Amino acid sequence: MVKSLQYGIKKGKNLKPKVKRNDIIDDKYSKWLGTQPCAVTGIVAERGMGANNIHCHHIHGRTPVRNDYLQVPLMGYIHSWGFSSYHSSTKADFIKHNKLLIDDVIEFFEDIAKMYVEKYIDEGNEILCSYDDIFKKQNN
Ligand SMILES: [Zn+2]
């Protein structure tokens, strides 16, 4: 992906978000996560920005704290493309539309995020902080 397309170029400045003090950033993990099946559909696809690509969704967004281990892979059309996607729906409508047998989509995503971190570690990869630090309450 061309960086200028991904983040936008304004007055020659790269708008890639600045790393903040408590951010947990692991590009290697994000790259790996992008090869994993979509949390909702189970579909495996190439990572990209399109409706039929895998996107890596930050469960709690990137602000105030970004945590790359709290991401889930989602197909573009599940994530952000179209009126029924996650970012275009209420949480209740998203659950209904995707016929998910869950009460809380955030908890559902967090469980899947944990499962993927454990899978990553099981495959012999290292994470950049302690496992407990990943899932402790984010309070700033
Ligand atoms: Zn997202």
- What letter would DSSP give residue 67? B
φ, ψ (nearest 5 deg) of residue 9: -115, 125
Cα–Cα distance, 18 to 102 (Å, whole number): 35
**Within-domain flag for 112:** yes
Distance from residue 12's CA to the centre of ligand 1 (Å): 26
pLDDT digits (tens, 9 = 90+) for 12-63: 555 667 788 889 999 999 999 999 999 999 999 999 999 999 999 999 999 8
Residues pairing with 73 in the sheet: 56
Ligand 1 center from residue 71 Cα (angstroms): 9
Q: Does residue 12 belong to any structural domain of this protein?
A: no
Residue 61 CA, ligand 1 centroid: distance in Å: 7
* Distance from the alpha carbon of residue 6 to the mean position of ligand 1, in angstroms: 14
Q: Is residue 13 part of a domain?
A: no
The band of 137, judged by pLDDT with boundaries at 50, 70 and 90, is low
Residue 92 lies in a domain: yes
pLDDT in the model for residue 9: 45
pLDDT of residue 2: 46
Q: How many domains would you assign to the chain?
A: 1
4 lies in some domain: no
| CA dihedral of residues 61, 66, 71, 75 (deg, nearest 10) | 50
- CA of 73 relative to ligand 1 center, distance in Å: 9
The one-letter amino acid code at 132 reads D
The residues whose Cβ lies within 5 A of ligand 1, an ion, are: 57
In terms of Cβ atoms closer than 10 Å to its own Cβ (0-12, 13-18, 19+), residue 73 is buried
In the prediction, which pLDDT does 133 show?
Answer: 87
Return the CATH number at 51.
3.30.40
Ligand 1 centre to CA of 54 (Å) is 11
pTM of the model: 0.84
| Residue 8 within any structural domain of the chain | no
Pairwise CA distance, residues 38 & 7, whole Å? 23
| Conformation bin of residue 22: beta by default, left when phi > 0, alpha when psi is -120 to 50 | alpha
Domain range for 90 is 19-134
Does residue 47 form part of some domain? yes
Does 10 fall in a domain? no
